[in-house]
């Protein structure tokens, strides 16, 4: 009986020893590891111009109202398609009833349709916008970073971020008296790529309507950044 108890105790000790091995391995995995962060940035031009135009009207006859809106939009689309540098996107189109003062009887209908124009050719789009304002109204004018420009700037920032992280890793290694280092993990995050920057529609409309020459447009730049967050293991 006592022999069985001794064997059971030995098995229990062996099991507890094996259970502690993962904890020891985990401690060794994080030995001499340091978390580091490096960040780089650059100015990127807002090189895409976005203009949203619309037509809005009301009529007691919803069918006639829809036909008038469609005719106006079709004319604008046909005119805009002639400018090859401009991309066209039809926006929302909505109609809703108009009630009398007691909100009990429908007295008419109001309808609104939008046209969105995008281009990297600012003069061409500015000129087209000025022409379309004879029949449409301007909601706003926005400036953004084009997709190709964003991808190009991200590629450049990625290379710079890696170089900056390596420089910081080497600095930390030297400070600790290490012989070298290895990267355990590395993550990248971008910041600063803006939502389109809008300018007031009424101001831009006045500038285009009151002067014969095409107004100059300055979209400006945005500062974008990329951070490299990672962990290195210093080798002794």
Order of strands across the sheet with 221-235? 33-45, 221-235, 180-191
pLDDT reading at 209 higher than 70? no
Mean of the pLDDT values across residues 162-173? 96
Give the chain as a 3 state SS string.
CHHHHHHHHHHHHHHHHHHHHHHHHHHHHCCCEEEEEEEEEEEEECCEEEEEEEEEEEECCHHHHHHHHHHHHHHHHHHHHCCCCCEEEEEEEEEEEEECCCCCCEEEEEEEEEEEEEECCHHHHHHHHHHHCCCCEEEEEEEECCHHHHHHHHHHHHHHHHHHHHHHHHHHHHHCCCCEEEEEEEEEEEECCCCCEEEEHHHHHHHHHHCCCCCCCCCCEEEEEEEEEEEEEEEC
pLDDT score, position 214? 56
Range name among 41-55, 85-99, 187-201 with the lowest pLDDT average: 187-201
* pLDDT tens figures, 16-69: 444 444 554 555 556 789 999 999 999 999 999 999 999 999 999 999 999 999
pLDDT reading at 184 higher than 70? yes
Residue 20 falls inside a structural domain: no
Mark whether 156 and 41 lie in a shared domain: yes
Mark whether 55 and 125 lie in a shared domain: yes
What percentage of the chain exceeds 90 in pLDDT?
68
Mark whether 35 and 85 lie in a shared domain: no
- CA 148 centroid distance within chain: 13
Q: Distance (Å, rounded) from C-alpha 140 to C-alpha 123?
A: 17
Mean of the pLDDT values across residues 150-164? 95
Residue 75 falls inside a structural domain: yes
Mean of the pLDDT values across residues 183-206? 70
Considering only CA atoms, give the Rg of the chain.
Answer: 32
Range name among 65-74, 176-185, 217-226 with the lowest pLDDT average: 217-226
CATH number, residue 113: 3.30.70.2970
Residue 93 falls inside a structural domain: yes
- From 105, 125, 144, the end of a domain falls on 144
Mark whether 133 and 106 lie in a shared domain: yes
Mark whether 41 and 110 lie in a shared domain: no
Q: How confident is the model at residue 216 (pLDDT cuts 50, 70, 90)?
A: low
Mark whether 122 and 150 lie in a shared domain: no
pLDDT reading at 3 higher than 60? no
Domain residue limits at 157: 31-47+146-194+221-236
Mark whether 157 and 140 lie in a shared domain: no
Higher model confidence: residue 58 or residue 202? 58
């Amino acid at each position: 009986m006592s022999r069985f108890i001794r064997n059971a105790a030995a098995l229990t000790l062996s099991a507890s020893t094996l259970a502690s091995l993962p904890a020891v391995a985990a401690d060794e995995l994080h030995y001499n590891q340091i978390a580091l962060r490096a960040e780089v940035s650059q100015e990127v031009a807002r090189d895409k111009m976005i203009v949203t135009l619309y037509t809005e009207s009301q009529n007691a006859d919803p069918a006639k109202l829809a036909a008038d809106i469609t005719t106006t939009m079709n004319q604008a689309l046909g005119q805009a398609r002639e400018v090859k540098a401009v991309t066209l996107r039809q926006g929302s189109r909505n109609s809703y009833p108009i009630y009398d003062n007691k909100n009990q009887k429908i007295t008419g209908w109001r309808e609104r349709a939008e046209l969105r124009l995008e281009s990297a050719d600012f003069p061409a789009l500015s000129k087209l916008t000025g022409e379309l304002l004879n029949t449409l109204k301007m909601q706003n004018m926005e400036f953004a970073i084009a997709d190709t420009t964003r991808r190009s700037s991200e590629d450049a920032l990625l290379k710079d971020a890696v170089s900056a992280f390596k420089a910081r890793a080497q600095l930390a290694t030297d400070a600790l008296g290490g012989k070298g280092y290895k990267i355990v993990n590395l993550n990248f995050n971008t910041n600063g790529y803006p939502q389109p920057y809008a300018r007031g529609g009424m101001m831009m409309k006045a500038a285009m309507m009151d002067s014969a020459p095409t107004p100059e447009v300055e979209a400006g730049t945005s500062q974008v950044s990329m951070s490299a967050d990672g962990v290195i293991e210093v080798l002794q």
